[in-house]
Amino acid sequence: MLLKATDIKKSYGNKFNRTEVLKGIDINLNKGEFVSIMGASGSGKTTLLNVLSSIDNVTGGHIYIDGVDFTTLKDKKLADFRKNDLGFIFQDYNLLDTLTVKENIMLPLSIRSMSKREAEAQFDSVAGQLGISNLAAKYPGQISGGQAQRTSAARAFIHQPKIIFADEPTGALDSKSASDLLKKLQQLNETLNTSILMVTHDATAASFSHRVIFLKDGQIYTSLTRGEMSQDAYYREILDTQRVLGGVVDEAE
């Protein structure tokens, strides 16, 4: 098991005015698994992702990656951890406007000792798979949203992390770019055997994953595994669960 989280709790506010966002969540993620987290607004899905990805601290509980509990790590160890094991994709891309696409993608490689040739090879392979090789010299301001998100994905993959955390990666994209991106993620997930944990409110996006975990009010409501289902059937299953979960589908954001 790659990631194992037990009894995750997260609350905000002070002693007298506490809001519990996560109320004790257990989650496991196997190597090479692609898992989506869904839930209505305010169900705590982004908070869960932040906590699992070490961006935010937990209030209670433990998170192990490869058997190491990182909730107790100090800054330096934690940084090493992110450097080697984790990759991130955000809804708003988080690219640096002052660096070219290539430079943005290479950023994670720049803080480790890697020969220039090796780095080039990595870049060529990832950029090739994501279909952005021809954009290498462009600046983020000059490319489309879909291309920017693929750049962001390339950056997340380039150092071959164990897990990639994606927070609504398709949130700002049109459906064509979104499905393009998800297909690429799916491909990379298969070829590199990298685990992906993705938060989304979009059933289509979720239908690309192996497993969907539904959150409700800070707790796991249920989960769905694709198994041998076709993607279409899986998609309908997800929609049904979402409907049961509460509210109309359209409201789920």
Partner 1 sequence: MKLNNLVLKNFVRNLNNYGLYIFALIFSVALFFSLLTLTIDEAAMEEITTSTPMTALFSVGSVTVVIIIILFVMFANMIFIKRRHKELALFQLIGMNRRKIFGILLLENFIIYFGSLIGGILLGFFISRLLLMLLLQIMRVDMMVEMQFSPTAALITAAVFVFIFIVLMIQNYVFLKRSSLIKMLKLNKTSESTGKPIGKLTIVFGIAGILMIALGYYMSQTMFDRAMENPVMLPIYMVSILFLTILGTYITFKCSVAFVLNMVRKSKNGHVNVNDVLSVTSVMFKMRSNAFLLTAIAVITAISITAMSLSYITYYSTDKMLDSRTPYDYTVNSTEEIDFYEELLNEEGYEIDRMEKSFMHYNVATTEENTKVELDNLESIGLVIASDAEFDGFDVSENETHVTGTMAILDMFVSFKEGDPVTFTDDKGFERTVEVTKTMEEGILPAYLSFGMPVLVVDDAVYQQLAEHQPESNAEYEMPSELYAFNIAGGDNQEVFELMDDEENPEFTSRIQEYNETIQMSGMMAFIVGFLGFAFLLTSGCILYFKQIDECEDEKGSYKVLRKLGFSQGEILKGLALKMIISFGIPLIIGLLHSLFAVKSGWFIFGIEMWTPTLIVMGAYTVLYSIFALMSLGYYRKVVRNSI
Residue 50 in contact with partner 1, rule: CB under 8 A: yes
Q: Which is nearer to partner 1, 20 or 56 (CB)?
A: 56
Binding mask 137-176 toward partner 1 (x if CB under 8 A, else -) reads ------------------x---x-----------------
| Rounded distance between C-alpha atoms, residue 89 and residue 104, angstroms | 13
Q: Determine which residue in the list 1, 68, 111, 233 makes contact with partner 1, applying CB under 8 A.
A: 111
Q: How far is the CB of 112 from partner 1 (least distance, A)?
A: 8
Residue 197 near residue 165 (C-beta atoms within 8 A):
yes
Orientation of helix 116-130 relative to helix 145-157, angle to 10° = 140
Contact stretch for partner 1 (CB under 8 A) within 27-35, 37-45, 109-117, 240-248: 109-117
Exactly one of 64, 78, 216, 221 binds partner 1 (CB under 8 A); that residue is 78
Lay out the sheet containing 3-13: strands in order across.
18-29, 3-13, 60-65, 68-69
- Regarding 68 and contact with partner 1 (CB under 8 A), the answer is no
- Contact in structure between 104 and 140 (CB atoms under 8 Å): yes
1 binds partner 1 (CB under 8 A): no
Beta strands in the chain (DSSP E): 3-13, 18-29, 34-39, 60-65, 68-69, 86-89, 163-167, 195-199, 211-216, 219-225
Is there binding between residue 43 and partner 1 (CB under 8 A)? no
Answer yes or no whether residue 66 interacts with partner 1 by CB under 8 A: no
The least distance separating partner 1 from the CB of residue 132, rounded to whole angstroms, comes to 17
Q: Which is nearer to partner 1, 67 or 141 (CB)?
A: 141
Q: How far is the CB of 53 from partner 1 (least distance, A)?
A: 9
- Nearby residues of 163 by Cβ (< 8 Å), 6 or more positions away: 2, 3, 29, 53, 65, 85, 86, 87, 194, 195, 196, 197
In contact, 9 and 23? CB cutoff 8 Å: yes
| Strand partners of residue 64 | 4, 69
Nearest approach in angstroms of CB 65 to partner 1 is: 14
Q: In 57-211, which residue ranges form alpha helices assigned H by DSSP?
A: 75-85, 101-110, 116-130, 145-157, 175-192, 203-206
Kindly state the smallest distance separating residue 140's Cβ from partner 1, in Å.
12
Residue 81 interacting with partner 1 (CB under 8 A): yes
Asked whether position 14 contacts partner 1 by CB under 8 A, the answer is no
Within 10 A of 91 (CB to CB), how many other CB atoms are there?
18
- Among residue numbers 207 through 226, which ones bind partner 1 (CB under 8 A)? none
Give the nearer residue to partner 1 in terms of CB position, either 199 or 212.
Answer: 199
- Interacting residues with partner 1 (CB under 8 A): 50, 54-57, 75-76, 78-84, 86, 88, 94, 96, 98-99, 103, 106-111, 116, 119, 155, 159
